Amino acid sequence: MKSFNVPIHYRSPLVAAIKQQRKADDKMKKDFAPTVLELGSLQVILARHFGFCYGVENAIEIAFRAVDENPGKRIFLLSEMIHNPGVNADLQALGIQFIMDTKGNMLMNWDDLHSDDIVIIPAFGTTLEMEQKIRDTGIDPTHYETTCPFVEKVWNRAGKIGDEGYTIVVHGKPGHEETRATFSHSKAHTPTIVVKNMEQAQQLGRYITCSLPPEQFYEDFIGRYSDGFDINKDLQRIGVVNQTTMLASETQAIADYLKQVIITHYQTPPDKTNERFADTRDTLCYATNDNQSSVRSMLEQQADLALIIGGYNSSNTSHLVELCELKLPTYFIRDEHCLISANEIRYFDLHTHSEKQAANYLPAHKPLRVMITSGASCPDALVERVIERLAAITGNEHAIQSVAEKWEQA
């Protein structure tokens, strides 16, 4: 896989050494067992796969190159490059301005853009409508193309299926930039609807089986179906794609459920299933799959708690948190500063969507076992700083150097 030129301060000598050695020992990526770091009375259980993915590194390289190649020019990002506050702050420090926030709210006026400005579309991609709006200002939005190739793969899959006469069901978060973009690209080919979770998929299933009055559909799914969607005919043949950062098991469950509903309702013979339900296969990206598989394998170990590192608005990171919460106390943290002390931690609560503080989060017994992983938009250097901070507050900072030397010399 291609390597990218990203700023050195995002790299970690320790994490790079660990990843390089694990890759050398497991070239086919079949071993998802975690790496265990013995740091005195602290045992860090580090997930097999985590951190920057292909799409993120590609976007960062392009954004920094755009700055280098355009001295004196105004450079804008349509919205956050990725869901990591540190990376976005670095880009802003270089003079890059954001046109809108992640929800699509404007931070400036379109009239303020000039035809000689640079506009970069984030890694999530954007809607066809937004691309045209940028072109209408005289700016080419594809000059610095940062849309993740795996997101574009989903668009291509949806387009192909749509052209074959299927309606597209997108499993994704309706307000997320990527889902908004996928919805836009898909509806250009075929009727499209977005479902957020299994509950909404089951609601859709009741419309497929005509168990609910059809006119109610337009209220239940308001804002999540394409213009002209006809409930009486557009759910007779469907295919499922997803936002690339969703939980793999949930996407599969939704696809299996809708497939069974539609073949049962239309009494479709097994050899005719594809006439009603498109074989889309899972459209999660490789990094999302690898990171989720790594967490599941990590959770087979015994531990006292888990620390998940990433931006609080990161979808892929939130799903890692959800997996860990099922097994043990889990804290979703932004950076090492969230580890205030051995007695106090600041973390993000996914259920209340608010930052909280907890006391006495580290048990007193020794050894202390802590699982650590991060999302696909989190720099490895940040993971290393969290490990260093954890070692420091537990009195194990002396062990960091020897462990680092061991891996770097391996």
Active site residues: 178
Among left, alpha and beta (phi > 0; psi -120 to 50; other), residue 72 is: left
Cβ atoms of 161 and 136 within 8 Å: the answer is no
Spatial separation of the C-alpha atoms in residues 327 and 356, rounded to whole Å: 20
Spatial separation of the C-alpha atoms in residues 80 and 122, rounded to whole Å: 7
- Tokens representing 147 are 């849309």
- Tokens representing 89 are 């702050």
Strands 238-242 and 305-309 turn out to be unpaired
Instruction: List the beta bridge partners of residue 39.
Output: 42
Spatial separation of the C-alpha atoms in residues 108 and 106, rounded to whole Å: 6
Write down the residue that tokens 């954890």 correspond to: 390
- Tokens representing 184 are 């836009």
Cβ atoms of 48 and 15 within 8 Å: the answer is no
Using alpha carbons, list the distances in angstroms from residue 405 to 15, 16, 51, 231, 409. 12, 12, 21, 63, 6
Alpha helices (runs of H) in 83-148, residue ranges in sequence order = 85-93, 128-136
Spatial separation of the C-alpha atoms in residues 182 and 293, rounded to whole Å: 25
- Tokens representing 65 are 């190159």
Q: How many CA atoms lie within 13 A of 32 on its CB side?
A: 16
> Containing H/E element for 19?
helix 13-25
- Residue 155 DSSP SS3: helix
